Chain A
Amino acid sequence: MQKGTIFLTLVAIGIAFLVWLLPERPEKTELSPKELLLAIKDETRFLSTDEVATMIIGQDPSLQLIDVREPDEYKKFHLPGAINIPLEKILDEQNLELVGAEEQQHVFYSNGTIRANQAWVLTRRLGYGNTYIMKGGLNRWVETIMIPPVPPSSAPSEAFDQYDFRLSACRYFQGGKATAPVKKQTPVKVVPRRKKKVTASGGC
């Protein structure tokens, strides 16, 4: 009996020393390639132009549009409420801090989707979870919101509702009328899909 106890004591102390001497891993915020691939696969990272328009019109306080084009392009034109972080500067400290504000949904947009997508991949890799991409960018925006295609008469009524919404949204953005669109879609609350790392946020 005594022998066994001594043996177990030695094992315990051995493990204790081992635990003490093992180096700790640095806290991980970066996504592993596998996690990044999972996030890339997830189509919810894209918001449609309609969704973004709805959020702008509904004055969704959680919306933060980020224009990742060049400053001169931004100066020429940008969506209402958008801030400018050119893609080159997306990894600067203060810009990352902005993207990291967890209360907001950060929606990247550019002329098309690629630049916004690149900004998204880079920030997502670094662990910033609340980021989205406006699919199609400003080109799609013009094609859908500013000059919406008329749905064919055989289209379901949702298509016409959407068309109506786009027409009124178009008027809204042209600033002609300050009135809210006729058919205001219920704001699409986008729930971040990425499972939150529990401790990373300090006790949930």
Chain B
Amino acid sequence: MKKIQLNANHWAGILLLLLVISGFIFPNKPADYYKLSAKEMLRIALAKEDVVTPDSIRSMIEKGEDSFTLVDLRTPMDYVNGHIDDAVNIPLPDLLEKGNQKFLKNQGKTIVLYADDEVKGCAPWMLLKQLGYKNVKVMLGGYNYYITGKKMPKEIAGKCYDEQPRYNYVSYFKGNNSITQPKKTLLKPVVPRRKKKPTASGGC
């Protein structure tokens, strides 16, 4: 009887020890983490260097250039229904999956992302950039623009197509100023973010 008791204690201790050791050996450190700080990312975003026009992609494909990999971020169904030649389909939800990460890391070529439009391509591009991918670019206009076959206007080369003001806003909003003033006072109580909240509400 005594012996069994002793063994049980020992077993418990050994199991515990194994658990602790396995914790040190297999820590669940995040597989991917940001290599760029938010500030660095902001600088890159403002530089706007990582944009590619659909025209240049098209001409590169025609020339048979092999210096880039096109990645289609749309759903598999959209991909099957039509995609740019040689594009690889990585649906956005699966972007961070291990196999896809490995694939992207081992490319060695420029990765050009595209989605339906450039807005949908922008956030994934920022995500990959922040994860430390250097050679990632995003195609302006997205697939929807690409299939129209239109040329991008020259003056927006290197800028975001989407961000160009297309209207003279003021002319549409004439006499707007009279509303602006009362609005501003209404929105005044901006409470700065509290670092530590002393209050709490139950029910969680």
Contact = CB atoms under 8 A, between A and B. Distances in A.
Interface of A: 1, 3-5, 7-8, 11, 15, 18, 30, 32-34, 36-37, 40-41, 56, 59, 61, 63-64, 73, 76-77, 80-81, 87-88, 90-91, 96-104, 110-115, 117-118, 120-122, 125-126, 135, 137-139, 141-142, 146-147, 172-176, 178, 198, 201-204
A-B pairs, 3 with minimum CB distance? A100-B193, A203-B200, A112-B162
Contacts of A4: 5-6, 8-10
B96 A34 contact: yes
Contact of A37 (B5, B8, B93, B175): B93
**Interface residues of A, dominant DSSP:** helix
Contact of B127 (A33, A138, A142): A33
B171 to A, nearest CB: 9
Contact of A175 (B96, B161, B163, B178): B178
B200 to A, nearest CB: 3
Given A4-B5, A98-B190, A37 B95 contact: yes
Interface in B15-67: 16-17, 20, 30, 32-34, 38-39, 41-42, 45-46
A126 B36 CA distance: 12
27 contacts: A4-B8, A33-B33, A33-B34, A33-B127, A36-B127, A41-B92, A76-B169, A81-B180, A81-B184, A87-B46, A88-B42, A91-B39, A98-B193, A101-B193, A104-B190, A110-B163, A115-B163, A118-B126, A122-B38, A125-B38, A138-B167, A142-B166, A172-B179, A173-B176, A201-B200, A202-B200, A204-B202
B163 A97 contact: no
A202 B173 contact: no
B165 A111 contact: yes
Contact of B13 (A7, A40, A56, A173): A7
Contacts of A121: 122-123, 126-127
Given A88-B42, A174-B172, 12 more contacts: A1-B2, A5-B9, A33-B34, A59-B186, A64-B187, A80-B180, A91-B38, A112-B161, A115-B160, A138-B167, A178-B179, A202-B200
Contacts of A117: 119, 122-123
Contacts of A76: 169-170
A118 B39 CA distance: 12
Nearest to A5: B9
Contacts of A201: 197, 200
A49 B38 CA distance: 28
Contacts of A114: 118-119, 122, 160, 162-163
